[in-house]
Amino acid sequence: SAPPPPTPYNVVDMLDAKEPDPLAAELMAAYLESARVLGQRVAELHLALSAPTDDPDFATEPFTTLYRRSTYQSMRNLLGSVMRSLSGRRAAIPEQMREQIQMILARQSELLSPFDAFLQLRVSVVRMRCHGDLHLGQVLRTGKDFVIIDFEGEPARPLSERRHKRAGLRDVAGMLRSFDYAAFTAVMDQLKSGALGKAGFASMEPWANFWRGWSSWAFMSGYLDAAGTGPFVPKTRDELRLLISTFTMEKAIYELGYEINNRPDWLVVPAHAIVQMIGATAQAADKQRT
């Protein structure tokens, strides 16, 4: 069958759509509603965590220039560490992934692009306590609703670091990356089992992108509708786009490091996302020049 319509990688570029693509509405109706409800619940969590309080451990704080610079440096350090891991473990990279990984290694300046833009951004959101490790594995489905669980943050990080106040959109970026994982790991499992017959990854990739894109759209729409003018919501669409771009790139780079050290066969998921983000950044730059 013909591939589905393409979707932008950055979900913010889809938010002008008030209704889903007709094909998405037909094939994904239940998923879209679930993703919308999940977005609403995450926004309600952030509203609760950013509510005024006298407890200094939970009181929101401004996103200062010093904090922005510190965040930028930590993202640069993460990129350097992950690129060294990829270079040092080339033998562990699956053969079919080596060309793509080599391309990522050669284009580190483009991976830095959203981080560099973030460094120059006048950030309007507050720093707050947030979930810290939010993805689809951290929610329980009750039937028509969701319960968010496991608030201990990323287990690999020191407890003191997990208590740091951050932008709430980091949680959002984690969930958006989780939709990507859900789509592509499902395709990989189906291909390995032979359930898709003669179909290959290339023919299924547009469908995985389509599911990821419209699930992300429904989640983000539900999140923003419920969040309203919460102090963790950027004041402009441009700021929202850049923060989502920055935090999803950071998360995907972290995932590259995790996969090369634990599940090299899964490198395809974050590598595919990073290649798409590099392309989206280049397209945005071209538009600005014209």
Is the predicted pLDDT of residue 153 greater than 90, yes or no?
Answer: no
CA angle 161, 112, 288 (to 5 degrees): 130
CA angle 281, 153, 214 (to 5 degrees): 40
Let me know: does 162 contact 153? Beta carbons within 8 Å: yes
Here the tokens at position 229 are 């003018």
pLDDT band with cut points at 50, 70 and 90 for residue 72: very high
Distance CA 184, CA 207 (A): 9
Cβ within 8 Å of residue 11, ≥6 positions away: 176, 213, 216, 217, 219, 220, 244
Here the tokens at position 240 are 């929202």
Write down the pTM of the prediction: 0.93
Output b/e per residue, 95-130; b: 16+ Cβ within 10 A.
Answer: eebeebbeebeeeeebbbbbbeebbebebbbbbbbb
pLDDT in tens, 228-256: 999 999 999 999 999 999 999 999 999 99
Longest dimension (CA), the chain: 61
Is the predicted pLDDT of residue 269 greater than 60, yes or no?
Answer: yes
**Which one, of 250, 249, 254, lies nearest residue 275 by Cα?**
249
Compute the mean pLDDT over every residue in the chain, rounded to the nearest whole number. 92
Looking at 120-134, 156-170, 264-278, which range is the least confident one?
A: 156-170
pLDDT value for 128: 97
Quickly tell me which residue has 């999140």 as its tokens.
223
**Which one, of 1, 119, 2, 6, lies nearest residue 63 by Cα?**
119
The number of residues in the chain equals 290
pLDDT value for 195: 74
pLDDT value for 286: 52
Distance separating the N- and C-terminal Cα atoms of the chain: 36
Pairing of β 126-127 and β 139-141: unpaired
Here the tokens at position 84 are 């060294």
Here the tokens at position 290 are 């014209």
Here the tokens at position 9 are 């990688």
pLDDT value for 160: 83
pLDDT value for 193: 81
pLDDT mean over 100-114? 94
H or E element at residue 255: helix 237-262
Distance CA 109, CA 116 (A): 10
Here the tokens at position 153 are 């943050």
Distance CA 189, CA 184 (A): 9
pLDDT mean over 164-169? 95
pLDDT value for 44: 98
Distance CA 105, CA 111 (A): 9
pLDDT band with cut points at 50, 70 and 90 for residue 284: low
Backbone angles phi, psi at 146, to 5 degrees: -135, 150
pLDDT value for 283: 55
